[in-house]
Structure 1
Amino acid sequence: MSELPVVLVTGGAGYIGSHAVLALKDAGIPVVVYDNLSTGVRLAVPDDVTLVEGDIGDTAHLARAIQEHRIAAVMHFAGSIVVSESVEKPLKYYHNNTQNSLGLIDTCIKQGVRHMIFSSTAAVYGEPESSPISEDTPTKPINPYGASKLMTEQMLRDASAAHGLNIGILRYFNVAGADPAGRAGQNTPAATHLIKVAVQAALGLRDSISVFGTDYQTPDGTCIRDYIHVSDLADAHVLALRHLVENGGNLLVNCAYGRGFSVREVLRAVEAVTGEPLPVVDAPRRAGDPPALVASADRIRQVLGWKPAHDSVEEMVRTALAWERHISGVPDRPASGDAAQTRQAS
């Protein structure tokens, strides 16, 4: 097995990036975090991991960090991620997600970085005509967020062909949950992720939770998404790195479990875990939301040998709830009913 390189994790103080840092540490892989802390949190970076505070658009500072720490691989998480905001502020997304990624790719090539793993998204598929969605499904994003990520994917492919950069493109579906050991979780107070918002509402940290759109052409009228536990996703990044280092070739994989849950099904799962009803309010559709996104997850299992360890909605909810209690200071209390006997939200 090839020796694994020092990995620079951009956005490593953020939600998914911080879990990737933990997965790299757990695998014994040296890691350095590069983050401007605009949405990331310093406390999310372990004490024994070097944090370089800097903006991804500052390529001179980035180059110095790569040189100083002898970086040979980059995992790129830094970026803007809110679909509805991307519709309202498209240029922000093309600047932060596309232009800054161009500078990063160019800097990495000039500094001799061999491997790059990119945090992409199912939003590149738009509203696919068939389901489940495979990696070969045509990419037709319907919002600037998805378009900004797809542009970066193409830049990476072209850079690989021209400069020999080894690339792994991981297209995430809906990420949820928190580190089961309680070391990390989602820290952004105004996050828009459904399970995060739902557990905040369950703890009384939000007055209500809005269901955006109840008239979609789905069984219960609400959007359907394929969810993945953040720790399983982090493990997939470590496997992707090993694949690139061991000359497995460039990589493009969906990151999901291959089954979908509606918004209402997820909310019922939260109620089952907490034993309490949620304060739910029906609201109009949000701009840029497709009705259903469910993945084919065969390739990631076959190519990387990925075996998820946390693939239930209930575990995503339980770990997210435990983390939210931790960061908010809301004390634990016994749920009404037997919260251990939760049902699958299906």
Structure 2
Amino acid sequence: MRVLITGGGGFVGSRLTKASLLKGNDVVVLDKSRGELEGYTHPKMQFIQGGVEDPELVRSAVKGCDVVYYAAWSFAEKPLEGFKVDVIGFLNVIEACCDAGVKHIIFPSSSVVYGEPVTTPIAEDHPLLVERSRAPTHALTKLAVEKTMAIYYRERGLPFTIFRFWWAFGDERVPSGTLRKIIDSALRGEPLYVPKGASGSVLYVQDLLRAFEVTTLSERAFGKTYNLTSFNMSWKEILQTIVDLAGSKSTVTEVEPKDWKGSGFLTGNWILDDKRIRDDLGLIPDEDLAKKAFREALKKTIEARRSGA
């Protein structure tokens, strides 16, 4: 199988690239930089430097591919920039997919499209309140791509699968600018604050990779959107774990949500319902393994911050 991974140098894309190569696939990576693939080589990997905004480059990259994993994303804060890169770029990719006879396209979206939790746990049919999102441009462009995939499936017959998740982490680190600031405060022994009741469904990257593996070219997954999760955890628990692992003297205090003035990432009850993928494909995460991996990844992230990385 030949796979194109857009954004293959990013956090998710680089891990998808390596996992796909381990399965014996031929992999084409399209990205503006090697990113987390810097220094990595493989005889079955072709790296093409460039972005999805270039339609001719996209057509060249898609040619001969069976499957596309669309992991490219700009995280632009301004709508004009976000639509130019993320939505128009995606249209370049999906048009090329249809012309090249691609058999399946998979998109790692985000729970951000739900906008604001109104019921929990959040199922895939939860209202898509992007206008209420803490990152409205990010939410709107993700949703635009999701809806475009549905239209192309209906009108052009290109099968798609969408994953929605809240926060993913890897074995080496837990990515988040907000988390890094919290860790830095803990290392200085400063008091830590968190909104009362704030929580979410954390996703271990190995479970994300398994989801890609079991859904790729699976007709049961065609046209489906799936929530993905490994385990649920409150922000209070996460902050207390950081304090314990760092050997910090920081205290963790909960604040009433109405009085919260900090990062929007720490707000809300983002517990996802993953019953659909469990029932459809039998994908059941190992919660204990994922929790252990999260603790180890947090420890590595803390030590990296302690050393100034």
TM-score, with length taken from structure 1: 0.74
The CA distance in 1 between the partners of 2:137 and 2:245, in whole Å, is 35
What is the Cα deviation at residue 94 of structure 1? Answer: 2.3
What is the Cα deviation at residue 151 of structure 1? Answer: 0.8
Match of 1:43 in 2: 38
1:265-292 deviation line (CA, Å, top 9, x unaligned): 2111223334444598998234687522
What is the Cα deviation at residue 12 of structure 1? Answer: 1.1
The CA distance in 1 between the partners of 2:3 and 2:25, in whole Å, is 8
Structure 1 residues 160 and 149, CA, compared in 2 at 3 Å: closer, same or farther?
Answer: same
The CA distance in 2 between the partners of 1:199 and 1:79, in whole Å, is 26
Structure 1 residues 29 and 324, CA, compared in 2 at 3 Å: closer, same or farther?
Answer: farther
Asked if structure 1 preserves the Cα contact closer than 8 Å seen for 2:235 and 2:266, the reply is: no
Structure 1 residues 46 and 209, CA, compared in 2 at 3 Å: closer, same or farther?
Answer: farther
| Among candidates 314, 319, 324, match of residue 297 of structure 2 | 319
The letter for the 2-side match of 1:266 is I
| Among candidates 54, 57, 60, match of residue 58 of structure 1 | 54
1:185-244 deviation line (CA, Å, top 9, x unaligned): 57x8xx4253x5555666x6xx68996x74x5x43xxx3221111221122111121424
What is the Cα deviation at residue 153 of structure 1? Answer: 0.4
| Among candidates 242, 258, 265, match of residue 270 of structure 1 | 242
Structure 1 residues 16 and 209, CA, compared in 2 at 3 Å: closer, same or farther?
Answer: farther
What is the Cα deviation at residue 152 of structure 1? Answer: 0.7
Instruction: Map 1:92-107 onto structure 2 (within 5 A).
Output: 92-107=81-96
Asked if structure 1 preserves the Cα contact closer than 8 Å seen for 2:207 and 2:285, the reply is: yes
1:99-155 deviation line (CA, Å, top 9, x unaligned): 211221112112221210011110111113210001111211121211110111000
The CA distance in 1 between the partners of 2:164 and 2:117, in whole Å, is 15
1:27-53 deviation line (CA, Å, top 9, x unaligned): 333322111128x33427544432111
Asked if structure 2 preserves the Cα contact closer than 8 Å seen for 1:199 and 1:320, the reply is: no
Asked if structure 2 preserves the Cα contact closer than 8 Å seen for 1:135 and 1:253, the reply is: yes
Structure 1 residues 256 and 90, CA, compared in 2 at 3 Å: closer, same or farther?
Answer: same
Structure 1 residues 97 and 270, CA, compared in 2 at 3 Å: closer, same or farther?
Answer: same
The CA distance in 1 between the partners of 2:47 and 2:306, in whole Å, is 26
Asked if structure 2 preserves the Cα contact closer than 8 Å seen for 1:16 and 1:77, the reply is: yes
The CA distance in 2 between the partners of 1:278 and 1:31, in whole Å, is 46
The CA distance in 1 between the partners of 2:79 and 2:251, in whole Å, is 32
Structure 1 residues 269 and 41, CA, compared in 2 at 3 Å: closer, same or farther?
Answer: same
Matched, 1:172 2:165: yes
Structure 1 residues 237 and 248, CA, compared in 2 at 3 Å: closer, same or farther?
Answer: closer
The CA distance in 2 between the partners of 1:62 and 1:24, in whole Å, is 20
Q: Match of 2:28, SS?
A: strand
Match of 1:75 in 2: 69
Q: Match of 2:68, SS?
A: strand
Q: Match of 2:109, SS?
A: strand
Instruction: Map 1:229-268 onto structure 2 (within 5 A).
Output: 229-244=204-219, 248-257=221-230, 259=232, 261-268=233-240
Q: Match of 2:38, SS?
A: helix
Structure with the larger RCO, 1 or 2 (CA within 8 Å, 6+ apart)? 1
Asked if structure 2 preserves the Cα contact closer than 8 Å seen for 1:257 and 1:297, the reply is: no
Matched, 1:6 2:2: yes
Match of 2:269 in 1: 292
Q: Match of 1:41, SS?
A: helix
Asked if structure 2 preserves the Cα contact closer than 8 Å seen for 1:18 and 1:44, the reply is: no
Q: Match of 2:201, SS?
A: strand
Aligned-residue CA RMSD in angstroms?
A: 3.2
Runs of 5+ in structure 2 lacking a partner? Answer: none
Higher share in helix: 2
Q: Match of 2:177, SS?
A: coil
Asked if structure 1 preserves the Cα contact closer than 8 Å seen for 2:70 and 2:106, the reply is: yes
Match of 1:304 in 2: 281
Asked if structure 2 preserves the Cα contact closer than 8 Å seen for 1:126 and 1:290, the reply is: no
Asked if structure 2 preserves the Cα contact closer than 8 Å seen for 1:198 and 1:209, the reply is: no
Asked if structure 1 preserves the Cα contact closer than 8 Å seen for 2:161 and 2:221, the reply is: no
The letter for the 1-side match of 2:177 is T
Structure 1 residues 303 and 274, CA, compared in 2 at 3 Å: closer, same or farther?
Answer: farther
TM-score, with length taken from structure 2: 0.82
Structure 1 residues 284 and 323, CA, compared in 2 at 3 Å: closer, same or farther?
Answer: closer
Asked if structure 1 preserves the Cα contact closer than 8 Å seen for 2:163 and 2:226, the reply is: yes
Match of 1:127 in 2: 116
Asked if structure 1 preserves the Cα contact closer than 8 Å seen for 2:246 and 2:302, the reply is: no
The CA distance in 2 between the partners of 1:147 and 1:62, in whole Å, is 23
The CA distance in 2 between the partners of 1:272 and 1:329, in whole Å, is 14
Q: How many residues align?
A: 297
Match of 1:225 in 2: 200
Structure 1 residues 287 and 266, CA, compared in 2 at 3 Å: closer, same or farther?
Answer: closer
